A and B are shown apart, each in its own frame.
Chain A
Amino acid sequence: MWLIDSSIGRKLVMSITGTFLVLFLLFHSCMNIVVIISPDGYNTICEFLGANWYAIVGTTMLAAGFVIHILYALYLTYQNMRARGNERYAVTSNQKSVDWSSQNMLVLGAIVLGFLGLHMFNFWYKMQFAELSGIETGQFHPADGAAYVKDLFSNWAYCAIYIVWLSALWFHLTHGVWSALQSLGLNNKTWLPRVKMIANVISTIVILMFMSIPLYYLFGCGSCC
Chain B
Amino acid sequence: MDKSINVTLKVWRQAGPKVKGKFETYKLDNVSTDSSFLEMMDVLNEQLINERKEPIAFDHDCREGICGMCSMYINGHPHGPDGEITTCQLHMRVFKNNETITIEPWRSAAFPVIKDLMVNRGAYDKIIQAGGFVNVNTGGVPDGNAIAIGKDIADEAMDAASCIGCGACAAACKNGSAMLFVAAKVSQLALLPQGKVEGAARAKAMVAKMDELGFGNCTNTGACEAECPKNVSISHIARLNREFLCAKFQD
Contact = CB atoms under 8 A, between A and B. Distances in A.
A188 B221 CA distance: 16
Given A90-B104, A185-B239, A8 B244 contact: yes
B175 A90 contact: no
A76 interface: yes
A87 B81 CA distance: 21
Interface string B169-197: 00010111101000000000000000000
B56 interface: no
A53 interface: no
B75 A93 contact: yes
A5 B243 CA distance: 17
B248 A9 contact: yes
Given A96-B226, A187-B235, A6 B208 contact: yes
A155 interface: no
Given A83-B109, A179-B219, A185 B245 contact: yes
B107 to A, nearest CB: 5
Given A12-B245, A189-B233, A7 B226 contact: no
Contacts of B225: 97
A6 B207 contact: yes
B203 to A, nearest CB: 9
B37 interface: no
Contacts of A86: 109
Q: Place the interface of chain B in its size category.
A: 35 or more
B226 A82 contact: no
B242 A192 contact: no
A182 B233 CA distance: 12
A89 B107 contact: yes
Interface string A82-114: 111111111111011111001101000000000
Q: Place the interface of chain A in its size category.
A: 35 or more
A7 B77 CA distance: 26
A10 interface: yes
Contact of A84 (B102, B108, B233, B241): B108
Contacts of B111: 85
With most chain A CB atoms within 10 A of its CB, the pick from B10, B21, B226 is B226
Contacts of A92: 76
A97 B226 CA distance: 7
Contacts of A102: 219-222
Contacts of B215: 7, 83
B84 interface: no
B110 interface: yes
22 contacts: A2-B248, A79-B216, A80-B176, A82-B109, A82-B214, A83-B109, A83-B175, A83-B177, A83-B216, A83-B217, A90-B104, A91-B76, A91-B104, A97-B226, A102-B220, A103-B221, A105-B219, A179-B220, A182-B237, A183-B241, A185-B239, A187-B235
Interface of A: 2, 5-12, 76, 79-80, 82-93, 95-99, 102-103, 105, 175, 178-179, 182-189, 192
Shortest 6 CB-CB contacts between residues of A and residues of B? A185-B242, A83-B216, A93-B76, A83-B176, A80-B175, A95-B226
Given A12-B245, A87-B107, A187-B238, 12 more contacts: A7-B217, A8-B241, A82-B109, A83-B177, A84-B216, A85-B109, A87-B21, A97-B225, A103-B174, A178-B220, A185-B238, A185-B243
